[in-house]
Amino acid sequence: MSKVSTQAVTTADTAETIPGAVVLGDYHMNDGWDWMELIGQHGWAAVNVWGCDGWDVGQWPYVIVAATRATDNTGELFGVATYCEGDVKTTYYRTQARQWDAITEEAFESWKCGQAPGPADLPLAAAELPSRYRTPYAPAFA
């Protein structure tokens, strides 16, 4: 697969096959800064902060989480891509709530393992995070 391609995907939340989705593939050419520039040209944006206080997500330029919003004939689609030193995984969801859950899980992992500072009162699992930690930082998505 090339760095960015258009192909059929199956949504993770509804198991629908979506033809022609923009999929981000592995990127071992340069670094994460270049990857963020590339994906921006295809409708994706890196998520730099998350939760009520805007804690960092990932560890740029080595670990990056990106998101997109698109539409098809059925309705809206919400994508999440994770970049880890060039290895990229792209997942689509039919609902924004599931996209936010996926971003929350990535943010939680980066906070828990110390890649990025996060809330002081982290629970043992992402599913136990209070709702204030499970949404975009308002200024980042305004």
**The pLDDT of residue 138:** 82
The answer to whether the beta carbons of residues 67 and 80 sit under 8 Å apart is yes
* pLDDT per position as a tens digit, 32-43: 999 999 999 999
- Count: domains in the chain: 1
Residue 113's pLDDT band, with cuts at 50, 70 and 90, is very high
Would the pTM of this model clear 0.85, i.e. be above it?
yes
Mean pLDDT, range 87-91, rounded to an integer? 98
Q: What percentage of the chain's residues is helix, strand, coil (to nearest 5)?
A: 25, 35, 40
* pLDDT per position as a tens digit, 60-78: 999 999 999 999 999 999 9
Write out the residue range of the structural domain in which residue 47 sits.
4-141
What is the rounded distance in angstroms from the CA atom of residue 73 to the CA atom of residue 76? 9
